[in-house]
Amino acid sequence: MSDGWQEFASYSDAVSAEAAAGLLRSEGVPVNVSSDEPMPGLIRGFRLLVPTQMLHRARWVVSNAAFTDEELTFFATARLDSDESTEQ
């Protein structure tokens, strides 16, 4: 079972799942994001799967993260919002 993937976390929305996945990937933890879709168009949630041997590292990365909402959005979208920094 050490070669398999294990559920690390679950989220109700795609943005949160991708933000957490981006954080883990930035720290070298491979992640698969899986949607729980019992029928087409009905997504109930999103799960993050990590290799079983990386589960401890994933927990450590998340427990030591202190990111702002803007940083988490950047991890999910690879975009920085510049609305506040725009001069008129």
In this model, does residue 22 exceed pLDDT 70?
yes
pLDDT score of 86: 45
pLDDT score of 43: 77
Domain boundaries, the chain: 11-77
pLDDT score of 73: 73
DSSP structure class, residue 41: T
- 33-46 pLDDT, tens digit per residue, is 998 877 777 778 89
Nearest to 57, CA basis, from 31, 33, 29, 30: 29
In this model, does residue 1 exceed pLDDT 50?
no
In this model, does residue 48 exceed pLDDT 60?
yes
Q: Mean of the per-residue pLDDT values for the chain?
A: 82
